[in-house]
Amino acid sequence: MSDVIQLLPDHVANQIAAGEVVQRPASVIKELLENAIDAQATRIQVVIKDAGKTQIQVVDNGIGMSLTDARMSFERHATSKIKSAEDLFSLTTKGFRGEALASIAAIAHVELKTKDEESEVGTIIKIEGSEVSSQEACVTPQGTSISVKNLFYNIPARRNFLKSDAVETRHIIDEFQRVALAHPQISFDLFHNGSELFQLPETNFRQRITNIFGGKTNEKLVPVNEETELVEISGFVSKPEFAKKSRGEQFFFVNNRFIKSPYLNHAVTAAFDGLLKEKSYPGYFLYLKVDPRSIDINIHPTKTEIKFDDEHALYAILRSAIKHSLGQFNVAPVLDFERDANLDTPYDYKNREASVPGVEVDRDFNPFRQENSSGRSKPGTFRKEPAGKWESLYSGMQDEPIEKEEVRHIEFESEEVTGSLFDSSESEPEKSTFQLQKKYIVSTLKSGILVIDQHRAHTRILYEELLKNITVSAAVSQQLLFPLRLQFSSHEMEMLGEIKESLEQTGFVFSSLERDSVEISGIPTLISESEVEMLLEQLFSDLENEVPNNGFSQTDLLARSLAKGMAVKSGMLLNNTEQQHIVNRLFACKEPSLSPSNRSVFITLTVDELDKKFM
């Protein structure tokens, strides 16, 4: 047989890649703004025509580019920001893939004007559908100006996919605001069809928020500040009385990058527990600083999702920091005089070595757990946390109260460590497991040891189960005593309509779907009522992030998204029964070694390998 495989020509490859990076005009704005920020600009101007469909221009006063770099910048995987794979683990810039300019140039008419400090003159390059049409020297100040005209001119299908000018402008404003909020020390302007939408001078966080959302915002803000080993939190939440009927002003920034996180959003909402009126949403602008090595941003080209090493602890810290602020600022009177023990625990993080988890801080780190000990809470000082999904997962298996289980578990862990040092291993039961850093389940094999990522393992288990429910046999559902009514945008409700049937297979029962709300009367047995909203939110955000027609079936996406949200998080303490349950069910899966997003679920270390290490 003759050879049939060919490399795609660059412009075709670029067009395909562009589909991932550029979904709409707002994505171009985001990429160009991020490039300007990476180039240390202190002043950035954005000019758009017809919601960006006709033209987008971003002008910055950053470091600019040399002639060679200007030309190089349009090559795919050309980046000045990382040099090796290791750099990926300590990213401090916004860009790193070197894909944006190449992608944009593949699907639009682009003009780049730039000059760096050393060059006498600047460079102007015109490029259309990846073809450079002209390159000349020009007079221009230091910095970069990029103009993008006729987006998707050569992909009519994508151009037709764009929504009305009003909708696309909304998306642009959203992206613009996110970037502007993350960088108050940079001045930003936005013009649309000749009129000025925003003019934001350089300032501080608080003032930037007020400049964007209006003068009255200032008095609604309660500052939040917390510093721990794991994370530094700063920013503001809105006072409960200003909570809105729709979730608009909710922003998380991690290392100055806007992210979406239904899980952390849940933590904020939990901090407001009891202070909000039915179905209202608190505003927040929260800035989290974490070690870049402890996050993984490379999971989606649009980069609004980040994976944290210890999401679970982050949840607890965030929730308690906000509770504390609300209490301090007299917003939550019950917390005035007496510090709630529940608030204190995560503060212990301050004084402890991150790598050596102290036994005494463990018990409060599961925010889903029910508070059982009456000694730690006074009636009325805080509400009971709803029982968590992973508890309900194992319900029936656990006849001891949680607290006891945990204590037993801790003893088990230390026994295991010392015991195995001195006892002969033959006497140990084969199936023994222990948890490492509340993140990995370690188990012994005949030939060595097995280290399992608990979150990925559980995600795999739930994913296969959900797929089976959706495609083969529907799951049973738990009826809710009182139907749950949730508010969503009309766009989200549209998505819900499309996946309704699949969701019903997993155990959801929808009693009515309206334009901007849904009533739910039954939910899958694996989740608790308090998590429903978060899971659906996550699902919508996943559906939205997924590129249209990229081959993944919606069923698969749905199962992946729900599984990810329902799975035990890294950072959750698991008792021995739970650990073994995960191990057993994992190895009953069809594909135990990979998570649904194709990441390794476990590694093994054989005795041979160990022997080598001791040579």
Minimal CB distance residue for ligand ADP: 95
Report the residue number, 64 or 235, with the smaller CB distance to ligand ADP.
64
Residue 590 CA from chain centroid, whole number: 28
Q: CB neighbours of 512 closer than 8 A, spacing ≥ 6?
A: 518, 519
Q: Choose, by CB under 6 A, the member of 54, 80, 140, 471 that binds ligand ADP.
A: 80
* Closer to ligand ADP by Cβ: residue 99 or 311: 99
State how far Cα 180 lies from the chain centre.
19
Three-state secondary structure string covering 375-412:
HHCCCCCCCCCCCCHHHHHCCCCCCCCHHHHHHHHHHH
Query: Could you tell me the smallest distance in angstroms from the CB atom of residue 533 to ligand ADP?
Result: 34
Of 306, 209, 215, nearest to 257 by C-alpha is 306
- The yes or no reply on residue 301 touching ligand ADP (CB under 6 A) is no
Q: How far is the CB of 38 from Mg ion (least distance, A)?
A: 7
Q: Which residue has the tokens 């189960």?
A: 465
CA distances from 429 to 99, 426, 603 (A): 52, 8, 21
By the rule CB under 5 A, 35 interacts with Mg ion: yes
Residue 454 contacts ligand ADP per CB under 6 A: no
State which residue, 34 or 533, has the beta carbon closest to ligand ADP.
34
- Among the listed ranges 100-108, 344-352, 426-434, 456-464, the one in contact with ligand ADP (CB under 6 A) is 100-108
Amino acid at 358: G
63 near ligand ADP, rule: CB under 6 A: yes
Site string for Mg ion, 83-122 (x = CB under 5 A): ------------x----x----------------------
Report in angstroms how near the CB of residue 41 gets to ligand ADP at its nearest: 7
Please give the residue whose beta carbon sits closest to Mg ion in the complex. Answer: 95
Name the packing angle between helices 311-328 and 262-271 (round to 10°): 30
Shortest Å, Cβ 12 to Mg ion? 22
Name which of 60 and 533 has its Cβ closer to ligand ADP: 60
Residue 98 near ligand ADP by CB under 6 A: yes
CB nearer to ligand ADP: pick between 144 and 342: 144
> Whole-angstrom Cα distance, residue 385 to residue 366?
10
* Residue 188 near ligand ADP by CB under 6 A: no
Residues of this chain, 37-56, that bind ligand ADP according to CB under 6 A = 39
Residue 101 within binding range of ligand ADP, rule CB under 6 A: yes
Nearer to ligand ADP, 13 or 410 (CB): 13
Q: Does 65 bind ligand ADP (CB under 6 A)?
A: yes
- Tokens at 387, concatenated: 């029982």
Residues 243 and 292 sit within 8 Å (Cβ to Cβ)? no
Q: Check binding of 81 to ligand ADP (CB under 6 A).
A: yes
Nearer to ligand ADP, 26 or 343 (CB): 26
Residue 304 binding: pick among Mg ion, ligand ADP, none (C-beta 5-8 Å cut-off by kind): none
Strands (E) across 164-231 are located at 187-192, 195-200, 221-227
Query: What gap in Å lies between CA 283 and CA 301, rounded to an integer?
Result: 27
Residue 410 binds to ligand ADP (criterion: CB under 6 A): no
| Residue 39 or 442 with smaller CB distance to ligand ADP | 39
DSSP string for 303-359: ----EETTHHHHHHHHHHHHHHHHHHTTSSGGGSSS--HHHHGGGGGGGS-TTS--G
Please return the burial class of 456, using the count of CB atoms within 10 Å of its CB with bins 0-12, 13-18 and 19+.
Answer: buried
At residue 118, what is the residue type? Answer: E
Q: For the chain, what's the residue count? A: 615
- The DSSP code for 244 is B
How many residues touch ligand ADP under the rule CB under 6 A: the total is 23
> Of 97 and 438, which has the nearer Cβ to ligand ADP?
97
Residue 123 contacts ligand ADP per CB under 6 A = no
Q: Kindly state the helix (H) or strand (E) to which residue 66 belongs, with its residue range.
A: none
**Cβ contact 469:507 at 8 Å:** yes
CB-nearer residue toward ligand ADP: 145 or 477: 145
Q: What is the footprint of ligand ADP within residues 127-146 (CB under 6 A)?
A: 144
Q: Does 97 bind ligand ADP (CB under 6 A)?
A: yes
Taking the least distance from each CB to ligand ADP, the nearer of 144 and 211 is 144
Q: How many Cα neighbours within 13 Å face the side chain of 191?
A: 13
Q: Which residues pair with 548 in a beta bridge?
A: none
Choose one: 98-106, 428-436, 497-505, 596-604; the region binding ligand ADP (CB under 6 A). Answer: 98-106
According to the binding rule CB under 6 A, does residue 283 interact with ligand ADP? Answer: no
> Which residues would be at the binding site for Mg ion (CB under 5 A)?
35, 95, 100
> Which residues would be at the binding site for ligand ADP (CB under 6 A)?
31, 35-36, 39, 60, 62-65, 73, 78-81, 95-102, 144
